[in-house]
Amino acid sequence: MKPLIFVTKRIPQPALDRLAEVFELRLNPQDKALSKQQLCEAVGNADALLCLLTDSIDRDVLSAGTRLKCVSNYAVGFNNIDVEFATQRGIAVCNTPGVLTESTADLTWALIMSSARRIVESDNYLRAGSFTGWEPMLMLGHDVFAKTLGIVGMGRIGQAVARRAAGFSMRVLYHDPAADAASLPAEWQAATLEQLCRESDFISLHAPLTPQTHHLIGKEQFAWMKPSAILINTARGPIVDETALIDALQTGKIAACGLDVFENEPEVPAALRDLPNAVLLPHIGSASLETRTKMGLLAAENAIAVVLGKQPPARVN
């Protein structure tokens, strides 16, 4: 008899096929998130759970999984899981690091370029029929070449973003108390958060969401920034105080922002959606066919390894 795995939402088919080789596969048939009660019922007799970062896997859900051996998160971050309680119950928690690094770095640069050169705003302007010909002052944005890029969080994705900056002859500053400066290129300069905010033309966030990074960027940090600064966030929404961000954009404390994540997803404040100097994406940092498939296969291999009594490729606890 095969062990049972429950998958909270459809993921790329190659990953589901791989799971079906080992597990009895049960998949959420709905194209929407499950409630806590539905999650508790789903894990009741499951040996493994493959979940998304939008699923809250708290102690109630973990306690409901009386046979649960593994929670395999289809994400790098795992702030949606009570890892400490899972550890107490002997449940392995796994994630999908590495495979989405380059796709997320690419998306970060898409936001940098779009925000700097007002791409979305210009597209909307043209589609609305407002374009009547070339004008010397039309849609003036900001250059990227030879500017200063500040990176908050110098893990895999932060480093991938920094590597791409070389093509634009950019100065790179970074702030990450956990970074090993000796292992990073000498031309990348460590900085305090204040120095980074004051000197950077583009500030890109790549830190994990922890109690220490919650609202790391808020009113004080926006006051440090240049009026021409552009904030990019492809990490986690709550790293930024969204109310302070909206005020900074409305009052010209900073020039623009590019966001792939939000403080209370999927809710995005109307005041933010109404701002022409905000480029807003629906959390698509890793959304390439290749990367999402790799994520699914890694999440599958994590769950398979745990139920077979082997060491999974990416275990958190």
| Domain positions in the chain | 4-98+289-307, 101-280
Q: What average pLDDT score do residues 132-149 get?
A: 98
Residue 226, CA distances (Å) to 195, 254, 306 in order: 11, 6, 49
Q: What average pLDDT score do residues 157-183 get?
A: 97
Backbone angles phi, psi at 251, to 5 degrees: -100, 0
How confident is the model over 42-74, as pLDDT tens digits? 999 999 999 999 999 999 999 999 999 999 999
Closest by alpha carbon to 5, among 72, 60, 74?
72
State both tokens at 313: 């490729």
Annotated catalytic, 236?
A: yes
Give residue 83's identity as a one-letter amino acid code. V
Partnered with residue 73 across adjacent β-strands are 51
User: Please, are residues 157 and 232 in contact by the beta-carbon 8 Å criterion?
Assistant: no
Q: Is the pLDDT of residue 32 over 90?
A: no
Annotated catalytic, 283?
A: yes
Which residue among the candidates 142, 156, 164, 283 is catalytic per the annotation? 283
Which residue among the candidates 142, 164, 171, 265 is catalytic per the annotation? 265
**Among residues of the chain, what percentage have pLDDT more than 90?**
98
Q: What average pLDDT score do residues 81-101 get?
A: 97
Closest by alpha carbon to 309, among 88, 26, 90?
90
Which residue among the candidates 121, 236, 263, 292 is catalytic per the annotation? 236
Q: Encode 256-290: b = buried (16+ Cβ within 10 Å), e = exposed.
A: bbbbbbbbeeeebeeebeebebbbebebebbebee
**Looking at residue 30, what is its pLDDT?**
85
Q: Is the pLDDT of residue 128 over 90?
A: yes
**Looking at residue 127, what is its pLDDT?**
98
* End-to-end CA separation in angstroms for the chain: 28
Rounded Cα distance, 52 and 62, in Å = 15
**Looking at residue 29, what is its pLDDT?**
86
CATH number 3.30.930.10 is the correct assignment for the domain at 101-280: no
Q: Write the CB contacts of 258 (distance below 8 Å, at least 6 apart in sequence).
A: 111, 112, 114, 115, 230, 231, 232, 233, 278, 279, 281
Closest by alpha carbon to 237, among 203, 262, 265?
262
Partnered with residue 240 across adjacent β-strands are 217
* pLDDT band (50, 70, 90) for residue 31: confident
Partnered with residue 264 across adjacent β-strands are 267
pTM of the model: 0.90
Partnered with residue 31 across adjacent β-strands are none
Q: What CATH number does domain 4-98+289-307 carry, 3.40.190.10, 3.40.228.10, 3.90.1150.10, 3.40.50.720?
A: 3.40.50.720
**Looking at residue 62, what is its pLDDT?**
97
Higher pLDDT, 77 or 60: 60
User: Please, are residues 188 and 234 in contact by the beta-carbon 8 Å criterion?
Assistant: no
**Looking at residue 80, what is its pLDDT?**
95
